[in-house]
Amino acid sequence: MIDTLPASRTRQPGKGTLRALDAANFFLADVRDGLGPYLAIYLLTTLHWDAQSIGIAMSVMGIATVAAQTPAGALVDRTRYKRLFSVVASLLIASAALLTISFPVYGVIIGGQVAMGVAAAWFTPAVAAITLGIVGPKALDGRVGRNETFNHAGNVFAALLAGLIGYYVSSAGIFVLLSVMSLISSFSIWQIQEKDIDHELARGCPDESGDNDADDKPSSWRAVFGNRSVLFFALACVLFHFANAAMLPLLGQRLAQGIDAGTSSAYMSACIIVAQVVMIPVSHWAGKLAPSGRKRLLLIAFAVLPIRGLLYTLTNEPTLLVAIQVLDGVGAGIFGVLSILVVSDLTRGSGLFNTTQGAIATAVGLGASLSNAFAGSILQRSNYNTAFLVLAGIAVAAVAVLWFFVPETVDKRA
């Protein structure tokens, strides 16, 4: 780890700020991920795009996020206007969603995905930074677990509404839902009290109450990115997301074959709901167990992914395919909590928590965005089972990198 610090004081933010942070995580759940697999269903069943074109459209948001992620993380480290930028990003996503259904032509859809990708790049480092600035590093484990619990509960809520809207109204109504949640999330973020955010703690700088040397200063980015553990953790994350990102959109397209758009949206909502319901207790559990060790929990998250990919090839029964999403809930629930904590461990005292988060997210986003195009290309030339098996093989490589090259990062002295 970089400049591991002694334990710091526990901050005591106002109850209103903590409630607003809960609400922001709940309503941002649907916002920061954009349209996700619902876009694939909309393009397939309403606009009748082919598999490769859908893969490209699904990749555009990820590519835009890749381009914006590192600058976004660096900006989060430097700005004191985290709330304002978060509101702007939410409103940008709302506008892009409405434009997509108002003018459903290729250029507008691709442009909307670019706008969503740029905005989405802001949320992961910003929410983590605001959280760290509010509660401090000592309480971060439990608070990140709580953030993710509310985030997954928000995803369940959004998926239920999306399924009902897609089935009883139209798939285009899901885009309106995203816009409404963007507006509500903006209000929630603004309710967080600025006075409760310590912007130095938010970037991973030492707590003033700690007994560190007076001349401690933020590290150069070279000290972070020259760290072997950071680099191998980033590689493991890239492989994990390259294998994971395309699985749900592929499953959605497979379930959509031969049925109408409303039923397709309902199936997709069922897939999301099953996974998100599992993520709620898993995230809470991961936050509770994280202080005793990060790596063993991450290995569980990584190991379920190749199993999930393999199971998708063993049945065509929609009910069973939806049930397999339980594994997605286990893996994503753990990863969402532990990935933030590992980066916090590896950058503590460097002042580059969010810059490092952004850089790793750039690498992860590259893997995720290429995953959709890669899987779409395989599907165009082969079949769903081949695509799932190839992705499962990449997931095995991710497990190997994590097992052999990423150390335990928790500092048990803290």
Among 162, 163, 193, CA closest to 178 = 162
The token pair at 239 is 């492989």
pLDDT at 347: 81
* 134 neighbors 18 (Cβ within 8 angstroms): yes
Distance CA 91, CA 87 (A): 6
Residue 412 lies in a domain: no
Q: CATH number, domain at 107?
A: 1.20.1250.20
pTM (whole model) above 0.85 = no
Residue 63 lies in a domain: yes
Q: How many alpha carbons fall within 13 Å on the CB side of residue 368?
A: 25
Distance CA 112, CA 298 (A): 34
Residue 229 lies in a domain: yes
pLDDT at 167: 79
Residue 208 lies in a domain: no
CB neighbour list of residue 406: distance below 8 Å, 6 or more residues apart = 229, 232, 233, 236, 295, 298
Residue 2 lies in a domain: no
DSSP state, residue 210:
S
Q: Tokens 């290429």 sit at which residue?
A: 370
Cα 316 from chain centroid (whole Å): 28
Q: How many domains does the chain have?
A: 1
Residue 363 lies in a domain: yes
Instruction: Tell me the torsion sign for CA atoms 292, 293, 296, 298.
Output: positive
| Distances from the Cα of 66 to the Cα of 31, 275, 294, 350, 378, angstroms | 17, 25, 26, 23, 23
Residue 50 lies in a domain: yes
CB neighbour list of residue 16: distance below 8 Å, 6 or more residues apart = 191, 193
The token pair at 51 is 């598999």
* 279 neighbors 336 (Cβ within 8 angstroms): yes
pLDDT at 2: 47
Residue 5 lies in a domain: no
pLDDT at 206: 67
| Distances from the Cα of 328 to the Cα of 254, 264, 334, angstroms | 17, 19, 10
Query: Is 243 buried (19+), middle (13-18) or exposed (0-12) by CB count in 10 A?
Result: buried
From first to last of its 414 residues, the chain has per-residue pLDDT tens of 444 444 445 567 888 999 999 999 999 877 777 666 678 778 877 888 877 778 778 778 878 878 888 898 889 988 999 999 999 999 999 999 899 888 888 888 889 889 998 998 899 889 989 999 999 888 888 899 999 899 888 888 887 888 788 778 887 888 899 899 999 999 999 999 999 999 988 887 766 554 444 444 555 666 666 778 889 999 999 999 999 988 988 888 888 776 666 677 777 778 878 888 899 899 999 999 999 889 999 999 999 999 999 999 998 888 898 899 999 999 999 998 999 899 888 888 777 888 888 888 777 777 777 888 888 888 888 888 999 999 999 999 999 999 999 999 886 544
Instruction: Give the domain range for residue 353.
Output: 16-203+220-405
